Amino acid sequence: MKTYLLEEMTWPEIQAAMKNGCDTVVIYAASIEQHGPALPEMTDTILGYAAASDLAKRLGNALAAPLIRPGLSAHHMCFPGSITLRPETFRAVVEDYISAYVHHGFRTIVLASSHGGNFRALEEIAQQQSEQYPHVRIVCGCSLEELDAALAEVEVLEGLPVGTCGGHACDWETSVMMMLNEDYVRREKLQRGHVGALTEELLHRFFEDGVMSVSEIGVMGDPTGADAARGIRYFQYMQDMQEKAVRKHLMEWDKKSAISMLNNSFSYW
């Protein structure tokens, strides 16, 4: 059985993979939160497992850690069933993941998220943990701003109205869910939510005042025309962007490390 998910492997299989050069672990953070009337609370978890496994495969020398979930979802707590962790709890869990994988000998750790509320915290944690483990490459995937820009770009590529891919239970998420497992999608419950450009003011309301202040049904975008074929294209596009971002950040880490070593060498002499 070929898998990139650590939790599906035995310890001898993990040990063998590491001996064969697998020194990278991909850690995705997800959520358990509302996704409108048509998608389940575990939507970000399903998407996260698919994204983590695919990214590990793309990187070539990587495995994917068990997903971290719940995540930071305070802005969804106005809907029944959503769960949020306290920021300090989330940070502690991510730090414990990193500590464990450093202990086991992984030398590159990639932090990424399938949920918008986790991005900022992961970036801060990566910075702090890089200082604690200077010999380990700890980087993040794409930023929330890059994701929002990508959603706007795919709308153009697919010929969709602005705001169709609003980022939450939208055409993008629903189409990818259809691609992964259409049984999770309640097609008869698909409804248009808030449709419009993801402006700075809108995102501020979304995160600070709660999703319901923007959309009473918890949907950002229009999923009513979603389909699995478009989900394949969405997933490929987003994973291409994620891989590009990770490789860029790893190159930047290597460059910074090389300069630091060179400076230390000059200081020694």
Neighbours of 2 (CB within 10 A): 5
Helices 171-181/228-268 angle, 10° precision: 100
pLDDT of residue 2: 87
Strands 62-64 and 137-140: unpaired
pLDDT of residue 181: 95
Distances (CA, A) of 88 to 91, 93, 144, 195, 233: 5, 9, 21, 33, 36
* Global pTM exceeds 0.75: yes
Q: Which residues, in sequence order, are CB contacts of 67 under 8 Å at separation 6+?
A: 28, 29, 30, 45, 48, 49, 52
Strand partners, 25: 63, 109
Mean pLDDT, the chain cut into blocks of 10 residues (269 residues total): 93 97 98 98 98 98 98 97 98 99 98 98 98 97 93 93 94 98 97 91 91 96 97 97 98 85 57
CATH 3.40.50.10310 residue ranges for the chain: 1-141
CA triple 101-122-151, angle to 5 deg: 120
Task: State residue 68 phi and psi, 5-degree precision.
Answer: -90, 120
Supply the CATH classification number for the domain 1-141: 3.40.50.10310
198 near 232, Cβ under 8 Å?
no
Cα–Cα dist 159/245, whole Å: 25
